[in-house]
Amino acid sequence: MKLLSRRTLLRGAGIGVALPVLEAMLDGRGLLHGTARAGGANPARLILFHWPQGLPVAWGAADGGFWYPTTYGSGWTVTPGLQPLADSGLIPEINVIDGLTYRQISNHVGSHGHSVAYMTGYAAQPESPGSSEPTTAGPSVDQVAAARIGGATKFRSITTGLYDQGEGWWSWSDAGVRAPLELDPVLLYNRLFSDLQLDPDAALAAAARTKSVLDFVADDIGTLQGQLGSADRSRLDEHLTTIRELEKQLDFTPSADCSLPPQPGKVAYGDGDCDAYAKLMVDLVVMALRCDLTRVAFVSLGPSQNYRTFPHLDIPYTYHNICHSGGANGGPDIDADGGDRDALYRKIALWHMQMLAYFLDRLRGTDEASNLLTDAAFVASSEFSSGGLHYEEFVPAIVAGKLGGMETGKVMALPCSFPEAWQTPPWCGQPGPKSDVCINDLWTTALRAVGAYDESEIFGDPTLPTSAIAGLWNG
């Protein structure tokens, strides 16, 4: 639309006031009606973090108060398993969610294959008749977001992992189509930053080009306003204010913290390097977000069927062995009573939380201007509650991000139950009208928050009664 007086185009130096179809005008489906995607000065981001094989939760008993909080609301008591987040001052920035599940869509294919449902929202199916390899009927949550909000950046999404993902099956671009994770920090660096130009003069020129078009036609606007009656001046002022607000929403440039990270050397992917390896991958992803190279990111600390050891934690046993309390599948036997096993499992779980704290701290930045969580929906979780039993019940989840004005610093206990051999643990809320909340509800809430879905769309299996979770972002 062009801004015209009755006789003259506002033509400051040959520039007309006109707006093309802009991203901020589009709803979550890319249409010129419905809820607009842009809700603030910066774009929304979906950031996901995964740790493998759950937590040290035993059959028929709670975890002894190690990870799951047993107090709720804003006055909850930090458990030992969440202490790394407290040590980094992150408790006020997060919400812990107790009681999620995906039992509604769990279909066992192989030993870990049902975990396909964790990020896709559909039950796993054999890749071929009789196969123990799973496949899925739809894309994973990260790839849904990439398709809907990723087109405005250089990379629709960045998906990374540690080590060969094996039975990971986390990211799927479509039904039956795996989206491999980038595992090599050297290759990731080259892909993201090899052609990144951060020349100061070029940045100044780009800033000049993004100057408000209203500034270029200021003289014409002033002349026109002097010729109008009060009612027309009011209409014109309202129209110009709308234009300037739209410009503010779209005037997003890489943050001042965007910089070219150090180029990584060749990394030896031995278990002993896993701490430095994980932090390097996190640093590269965070800088890609700061430079607005992507608005969808996924970081996984490993596959579900996980045979890594942890020398930096003085643990010689494989992770899989520790989860299953025995000497099968590699490594020496662990004490038959399981006592040593539990201590080792907790040690690994604490390291996973340390990496989560590291990631959140890097996203938080040093001040309000550099805080990427302000405009993000962040979810950290695992595919199992008990890594030893492969349970899709009580999936642990931590969320962050201030989209929709979400209040943080709380524990939310969702209504849930547990069948048969398990007794309802103390971290489960009392059964209610919608008991056993499916993880699809969490992904639906996150996708709506970042503008990838409108309020009529749900994630995953369409036969489930999926809805947004109240209290998360704008759910």
If phi > 0 it is left, if psi is from -120 to 50 it is alpha, else beta; for residue 212 that is: beta
> Which range scores top for mean pLDDT: 265-274, 339-348, 440-449?
440-449
* Alpha-carbon distance values, 253 to 242, 249, 325 (Å): 21, 11, 51
* 370-393 pLDDT tens trace: 899 999 999 999 999 888 888 888
Q: Containing domain of residue 431, as a range?
A: 47-199+275-449
Q: What is the pLDDT of residue 16?
A: 47
Q: Are 135 and 436 in contact (CB under 8 A)?
A: no
17 domain residue, yes or no: no
Higher pLDDT, 214 or 421: 214
Q: Among 37-41, 109-113, 293-297, which range has the highest average pLDDT? A: 293-297
Q: What distance in Å separates the CA atoms of residue 225 and residue 230, rounded to the nearest whole number?
A: 9
In a domain, 10, yes or no: no
Q: pLDDT category, 451, cuts 50, 70, 90?
A: very high
Helix 274-290 × helix 185-193 angle, to 10° = 10
Distance, in Å, from the CA atom of 16 to the CA atom of 4, rounded to the nearest integer, reads 9
**Could you report the per-residue pLDDT of 400-411, keeping only the tens digit for each?**
999 989 999 999
Burial 294-322 (b: 16+ CB within 10 A, else e): bbbbbbbbbbbbbbbbbeeeebebbbbbb
Q: What is the per-residue pLDDT for 226?
A: 74
103 lies in some domain = yes
Residue 416: pLDDT band with limits 50, 70, 90 = confident
Q: Is 469 left (phi over 0), alpha (psi -120 to 50) or beta?
A: beta
What per-residue confidence (pLDDT) applies to 338?
65
Q: Is residue 125 part of a domain?
A: yes
- Looking at residue 55, which CATH number applies to its domain? 3.40.720
* Highest-pLDDT range among 37-46, 179-188, 448-457: 448-457
**Amino acid identity, position 453:** Y
Mean pLDDT of the residues in the chain: 79
Listing DSSP states for 421-442 in one string gives: TSPPPTTSBPP-TT-S-BHHHH
| Interhelix angle 230-250/218-227, nearest 10 degrees | 160
Residue 69 lies in a domain: yes
Give the number of other Cβ atoms within 10 Å of residue 153's Cβ. 20
Asked if residue 338 is part of any domain, the answer here is yes
Residue at 15 is within a domain: no
Position 447 pLDDT exceeds 90: yes
- Please report, as a single letter, which amino acid is at residue 71: T
The total of structural domains in the chain comes to 1
In a domain, 237, yes or no: no
